[in-house]
Structure 1
Amino acid sequence: MTGRWMMAIAGMVLAAFLVAPDRFAPLFQPLTRNGAPAIYQQTSILSLTLSHLGIVTVAVLASTVAGLVLAILVTRRSGREFLPLARTVTAVGQTLPPVAVLALAVPVMGFGTGPTLVALFLYGMLPVFENALAGLTGQSPQVAEAARGMGLTPVQRLWQIDLPLALPLLLAGMRLTAVISLGTATIGSTVAARTLGEVIIAGLLSANTAFVVQGGLVVGILAVLIHHGFQALERRARLRTGLD
């Protein structure tokens, strides 16, 4: 209960800051020097936050779809031989630094949101794939026997049994991907994507610690809220499937 209250308070404080950041200027003023502004005003922090969340949402959904489809394919009898290849493909995003992906994508896609989406998509696919794979392959033999006894086809078993039972682990993978992507998306501002990295970079360039702290705090609070939100969904999914 205490954790819920803390999350609620954090959410309300974040919302208040995004709607009226100037009211928080006295808190950030000690972090400035030589009369520099305490609140980033070149672009609306609220609009940057919404843009940041939009980019992360698209990337997480794309990573989830790709990772889940791959996990389903390699757990079917006809696709099991492709499991090593699928693991290699999904691991590529984790081995290539997002900055390197941006550098490779910009000459092809130009500056803006596109390269950032590619970097986040590749970087976020591995957690979803591995968790979906664990959820689809970690079911007890009794489940398979029950499905055969009910006369379910492979497709029916996938939709009615396998995916619902794998949902808690899939949500855990999405949680990891979302939190990773939320922090990583800040580098998108280096290629002109509208993210909260713009506030952090502006602070670094102008030696204004207040801007750096603002951008970092917004991203950090969002990450904590999203993390706890997914955990709540995981608990609900586990209760519905009888895993708890």
Structure 2
Amino acid sequence: MPVMTVTLLRLAVVLVLAAFLVDPHLFQPLFEPLTQNGAPAIYDRTPFWQLAMAHLGIVLLAAVLATIVAVGMAIFVTRPAGREFLPFSRSLANIGQTVPPVAVLALAVPSVGFGLKPTLIALFLYGLLPIFENALAGLSEVPAPVVEAARGMGMNARQRLFGVELPLALPVILEGVRISTIVNVGTATLGSTVAAKGLGEVIVAGLLSSNDAFILQGGIVVALMAILIYDALGAVVRNAARRSGLARTGDKI
């Protein structure tokens, strides 16, 4: 697909999403056929832009926390002193994928209550694995001759890690962050089942009232947000690859 066409499609998605978040009633004629018995066509209990900001906020917070923990674990198990802890670290990172987010929410609510905290815990655990595995792969695949050259230049272990290994592994790590974040954009809708603010509120309201218009609105906004974030993070990954010298002509990350 031509670059200009892709750019125009991206711009159109951004404009449509922005218009809907600011004034969803502009789109009311599109959703009215999906309602029954005079039910409202547009969800208006909470402004859509507020729900979208709350939704993004919890996803980004979970991504930051998961990145810090997952990259930290990957660094530790790729050092000589931590290699024996690799199986344990991998099992820990797998917890979020082994235990469904709904189950994590159910287990967390009695301890931390309803709202943001149980949702954050579920998203944090669910987002660990892709970041950990990518960070592990990126750090493990740093060419040994490069590390040896850095050691020969007099760089200590800390300098080699932050000056050589992490910069070379960054594109792979960011790809893991990208995957984790996109998965959690959709998973975050479950937070509304435990009273966390977010776009899941619209979907839950639609399910409870059998209003297909509400369900579709929540689903469309989440999907468009996921597409835009995936696209934006993809550009960040490609830029990091170019800066690290790992991108080759024709590569697509």
- Give your verdict on TM over 0.5: yes
Q: What is residue 135 of structure 1 aligned with on the other side?
A: 138
Whole-Å separation in 1 of the counterparts to 2:206 and 2:120 = 24
- Give yes or no for contact 2:147–2:164 (8 Å, CA) kept in 1: no
Partner residue of 2:37? 34
- Once the two structures are TM-superposed, the CA of residue 162 in structure 1 deviates from its matched residue by 0.6
2:49 is aligned with 1:46: yes
Is residue 59 of structure 1 aligned with residue 62 of structure 2? Answer: yes
Aligned mates of 1:190, 1:174 — CA distance in 2:
25
C-alpha distance in structure 2 between counterparts of 1:60 and 1:4, whole Å:
27
Residue 99 of structure 1, aligned match among 99, 102, 105:
102
Superposed, which structure 2 residues align to 1:126-205 within 5 Å?
Answer: 126-205=129-208
Structure 1 residue 240 corresponds to structure 2 residue 243: yes
Q: In the alignment, which of 223, 226, 236 is matched to residue 226 of structure 2? A: 223
- 2:108 partner amino acid: A
TM-score norm. by structure 1 comes to 0.98
Q: Give the match's secondary structure for 1:157.
A: helix
Give the Å deviation of 1:186: 0.3
Deviating 4+ runs (over 3 angstroms): none
Deviations 1:149-178 (A, max 9, x none): 211111001011111111101110111110
- Aligned residue in 2 for 1:124: 127
Query: Matches of 2:28 and 2:42 in 1, distance apart?
Result: 6
Deviations, residues 44-83 of structure 1 (Å, cap 9, x unaligned) = 1111110010010100100000000000011111111100
Q: For 1:160, what is the secondary structure of its paired residue?
A: helix
When the two structures are aligned, how many residues end up with a matched partner? 244
Distance (whole Å) between structure 2 residues aligned to residue 102 and residue 201 of structure 1: 16
| Counterpart residue identity of residue 124, structure 1 | G
Rate the CA distance shift 1:146–1:5 in 2: closer, same or farther, 3 A.
farther
Higher alpha-carbon deviation: 3-12 or 206-215: 3-12
Shift of 1:142: 2.0
Partner of 2:250: none
Could you tell me the TM-score, scaled by structure 2's length?
0.95
Return 5+ residue gaps in structure 1 as ranges: none
Contiguous gaps of at least 5 residues in structure 2: 248-253
Mapped contact 2:147–2:165 kept (Cα < 8 A): no
Q: Which residue of 2 aligns with 1:86?
A: 89
What is the alpha-carbon distance in structure 1 between the residues aligned to residue 8 and residue 83 of structure 2? 46
